Structure 1
Amino acid sequence: MRYARPAFAAVLTGALVFGAKAVAQQDVRTTAVAEFIDESVRPWLDEPAILNAIIAQNAAHAGLSQAEIDDLDARWRRELSRADRPMIEAQLSNPLSLYLKGRQRAAEGLITEIFVMDNRGLNVGQSDITSDYWQGDEAKWQKSFRTGHLHIDEPDRDDSTQLMQSQASLPIRDPATGAVIGAITVGVNLDAL
């Protein structure tokens, strides 16, 4: 028993050092993602392609009930497993989605996905298919739209691409009033950053 304590202390110290290194690495990644977003993404947020699409969808969706939002989300999810995908295809081919696809291509692998959400958390445009249409119940929308601040998710390895990525979400403001009108989520490829 007398020798067990130093061994336990060494293991505990090693775990704390490893944990501290992991936290430090996480902080470095978070800082790098925040810098990338500030330098490469924030400049787009005043683009008419983004602002006009959000404003139009906010007006079109102003009267939606939660039940109607849930129905739209359920329809999207059903279409994911079908060959016939009218809702998804309409979304992926709208002008904002085409604009976002161009931005993703121009990033040369640093961006894995982009999607813009309205003031209800519904997708307005996206570079790739998302697993759902309504993001309003998720941290990416709640912690950006509702707080008005940048939110960066924990790094995660994407199952389909095997890339280590982090999603960064930030509010989109009306340049005339400063009011938050939507949000954008950008998947950042940490392996390429």
Structure 2
Amino acid sequence: MPRLIPTVLAIACAGFTAPTLHAAEAEALAYARAQLAALGETPDITSVVKASNLRHGALDEAQILELDAAWRAEIGSTSDTVITPVLESDASDALREIVEAANGRIVEIIVMDKMGMNAAISAITSDYWQGDEAKYLETYPKGAGSVFVDTVEFDESSNLYLQQVSGTLTDPSTGMPIGAVTFGLDASAFN
């Protein structure tokens, strides 16, 4: 596994230079930034995030935690009223196509709304609400252009060392933040 420096970046898309990053981390970041830019221009993604913002925008923390608990309870069960609408959307289909086309570089993609709730996912996640995690806290609340590069961690479910790179999603027509996206990258693909 390459040694990658954990870095938190709040950067604008233009003018980014990173002489302190190791080559593998810089390559992973550049790759994720290109994917983020393309994803932000995808109408299915923009639409699903805006719709999710309308559904979840007025929820309080107790309601969010209740939905998150329902999501967790559905994992591995026959009940699927919370997970299925997210997992089987056109936007989630588009994410799975991106993962497939990435030839193993991208392992998962999570698109979150402004509350940190899953709006689209390439695969089932362990929780519905990402809003208490760095992937959300270091992106959407910090505004357009914010990017967070997490540390490399071993993922038992995929048996891979993964690095999550997250960024703020913006509305292409206004430039305003509407949500966030996390790319789970196979760290060994960037060395």
Give the deviation of 1:176 after TM superposition: 2.3
Q: Tell me what 2:82 maps to.
A: 87
Cα 1:184/1:23, change in 2 over 3 Å: closer
Instruction: Decide whether aligned partners of structure 1 residues 127 and 22 sit closer, same or farther in structure 2, where only a CA change above 3 A counts.
Output: closer
1:12-47 Cα offsets, whole Å, 9 max, x none, are xxxxxxxxx775997333212111112333222111
Query: 1:80 Cα deviation (Å)?
Result: 1.3
Structure 1 Cα separation of the partners of residues 59 and 186 of structure 2: 35
Deviating 4+ runs (over 2 angstroms):
21-30, 38-41, 83-86
1:28 to 5, 23, 26: 23
Flag the structure with more relative contact order, 1 or 2, with Cα contacts below 8 A and sequence separation at least 6. 2
Q: CA 1:47–1:34 in structure 2 vs 1: closer, same or farther (change >3 Å)?
A: same
SS class of match (2:183): strand
Deviation at 1:158, TM superposition (A): 1.1
In the TM superposition, what whole-angstrom CA distance separates every residue of 1:68-98 from its partner, at most 9, and x where no partner exists?
1110000001111423323222221111111
Aligned to 1:78: 73
Q: Within 2, Cα distance between the matches of 1:174 and 1:135?
A: 20
Structure 1 unmatched ranges of 5 or more = 1-20
Relative distance call for 1:30 and 1:147 in structure 2 (3 A) is: farther
More strand by share: 2
Which sections of structure 2, spanning at least 5 residues, go unmatched?
7-19
Structure number with greater Rg is: 1
The sequence identity of aligned pairs, in percent, is 34
* Aligned-residue CA RMSD (Å): 2.0
With normalisation by structure 2, the TM-score equals 0.84
The equivalences for 1:25-104 within 5 A come to 27-104=22-99
Q: Counterparts of 1:60 and 1:156 in 2: how far apart (Å)?
A: 33
Q: How does 1:148-167 map to 2 (within 5 A)?
A: 148=143, 149-167=146-164
Distance 1:136 1:70 in 2: 10
- Find the residue that maps to 1:191 and give its secondary structure: helix
| More helix by percentage | 1
Q: In 2, Cα distance between the equivalents of 1:22 and 1:183?
A: 23
Q: State the secondary structure of the residue aligned to 1:73.
A: helix
- Provide the TM-score with structure 1 as the length reference: 0.83
